[in-house]
Structure 1
Amino acid sequence: MILVLQGTGDGKLITQTLVGQGYRVGALAATDYGRELAVEYGAILVDKNLNTGTGTWLEELGVQAVVDARHPFDGKGEDELARQCRANNIMYLRIGREETDICHELLHPVSSMPEAAQKAAGLGKTIFLTTGSHDLEHFVALQKTQGIRLVVRVLPEHKVVKKCQDMGIHTRDIVAMQGPFSKQINKALFKMYRAAVVVTKDSGRAGGTDTKIDAALALKIPVVIVKRPSATTQREYRWDEAVQVINQQLPLQPR
């Protein structure tokens, strides 16, 4: 089995390609939407905890290679999974993305979400948050202490929307949509909600960071960009490079 850790469009492409080539592919996804796509592409859902008994269940499933296509801000670096793969002689391939080149007076790089919240609050009273439902608490606090209007764009899943509502975000300020989003769609949404500042993570072109920035700059809206954690020593691959490595080192056997 080839185990693909979902979380990005790259993971979907890898799963779809390997299944199409005839590989037995297992998928581990954090969201209902990710699991639905994995099944749609013919993968076998794997419901396991990455930090509990990893080596044992990798062996039980007969995993030959792990393709880590999680979001650049998730599971970065030498975590337990990578260590278990090395210990059990299992191929581990981390999918990477190019970082965004930030060079504009309206672009404000920061190193963390708490820093992003404080920076955004100093740039405008309506914050359009494009980073999903994680780390909302840093921004929600600003609604009370600094009179900030917070608009969040999240996945259209019931539990995600409910989380936002439970945290005090007005329903009218919850944009429940599934990306990717073009520059035109981003621009229309920023205008519709009268965004004074946009917050995004540096997820690279594949994560739509470029279209968010282009849309915001076209409207002369400042953008706060949360940079990625420190680079890992683990080599990173493009999605197509990972598929090529698997094809070369784990070729399908004739039936």
Structure 2
Amino acid sequence: MIIVLSGTREGREISYLLAAKGYEVFTVTAVEHGSRMVISNALTEAFEKQPVKDGLEKLIKNGSVRMVIDTTHPYPEGISTLAKELCRKNHIKYVRFVREEVDLPESPLLFPVYSWDEAAEKAAELGNTIFLTTGSYNLESFLKHPGMTGKRIIVRVLPDHQVIEKVQSLGIAPKNIVAMQGPFSKEINKATFKMYNSSVIVTKDSGNAGGTDNKISVALNLKIPVVVIKRPKLKEDDTNIVYTYNQVFSLISPY
């Protein structure tokens, strides 16, 4: 059995491709703000929901797992850290699929940072209407930053009632919540950034596949500064880091 830690387009595609090749595949996706997970069989579409730590540990320890393929977003790292440690303890191959980072163009309007607090600080310096395209994760880092006092914060999140409830519970007014499901075209990004009179855009570096280049291009054309949160550095120790589907499949073939 192969476990795919998903929640991304690549995770879904890898799961279906492996199932089509005849492998037994289980896809694990964290839900409810990462507190629980959904386990789905790529062939039967049967679902089971349970706490992440207990469920993942039970799945990995069942004795028939040959590999865990981690395609999750690099933000947050919680489920990846847990899976990697469980694989190490149980002598199971762990493979980390990573999107290529965006090659940032030269521009005085681009500000790469390496932490959420740094992003909040820089965004507060750059403008008064801050448009967050980073979802609900780590929203508290922006809201609690002293530099955000008096700033208008716009958040673009998934149109999920639990996510919206979380955002509202943190004090974001409904008029400042953009509940939309991506991917977003340049036209939609342009219209949204302009509609809210955004003075600064904040984005994670989710690679071109995640639309980061699209957002940056639109913002720069509108002369809006962009704060780009770069990914956490991956440790090269005992992790098989891959960037293409073929690399994933090549690591499975020896089994």
The alignment partner of 2:62 has SS state of: helix
Pick the aligned partner of 1:236 from 236, 241, 247: 241
Query: Can you give the 5+ residue segments of structure 1 that lack an aligned partner in the other structure?
Result: 251-255
Quote the offset at 1:161 in angstroms.
0.3
Distance 1:60 1:163 in 2: 35
Aligned 1:208-227 pairs, distance under 5 A = 208-227=211-230
Match for residue 22 of structure 1?
22
Quote the offset at 1:249 in angstroms.
2.6
Quote the offset at 1:101 in angstroms.
2.4
Pick the aligned partner of 1:125 from 112, 123, 128: 128
For 1:152-198, what per-residue CA distance to the aligned partner results, in whole angstroms no more than 9, with x for missing partners?
01111101001111111110111111111122221111111111100
Aligned CA-pair RMSD: 3.0
**Compared CA separation, residues 243 and 99, structure 1 to 2 (3 A):** closer
Pick 1 or 2: higher relative contact order, CA cutoff 8 A, min separation 6: 1
Which structure shows the bigger proportion of residues in strand conformation? Answer: 2
Distance 1:216 1:100 in 2: 15
Match for residue 142 of structure 2?
139
Distance 1:196 1:145 in 2: 13
Aligned 8 A contact 1:129 1:200 in 2:
yes
Identity of aligned residues (%): 45
* Normalised TM-score (structure 1): 0.85
For 1:93-152, what per-residue CA distance to the aligned partner results, in whole angstroms no more than 9, with x for missing partners?
101122222331110011111111111111111110000101112222469963111110
The alignment partner of 1:66 has SS state of: strand
Match for residue 253 of structure 1?
none
Quote the offset at 1:80 in angstroms.
3.8
Aligned 8 A contact 1:143 1:149 in 2:
no
Q: Is 1:192 the counterpart of 2:203 in the alignment? A: no
Match for residue 162 of structure 2?
159
Counterpart of 1:129, as a letter, is L
* Normalised TM-score (structure 2): 0.85
Number of residue pairs matched by the alignment: 250
Distance 1:189 1:39 in 2: 37
Mean Cα displacement is larger for which, 43-52 or 241-250? 43-52
Match for residue 245 of structure 1?
250
The alignment partner of 1:26 has SS state of: strand
Match for residue 83 of structure 1?
85
Match for residue 9 of structure 1?
9
Runs (4 or more) in structure 1 with deviation over 6 Å come to: 34-37
Counterpart of 2:84, as a letter, is A
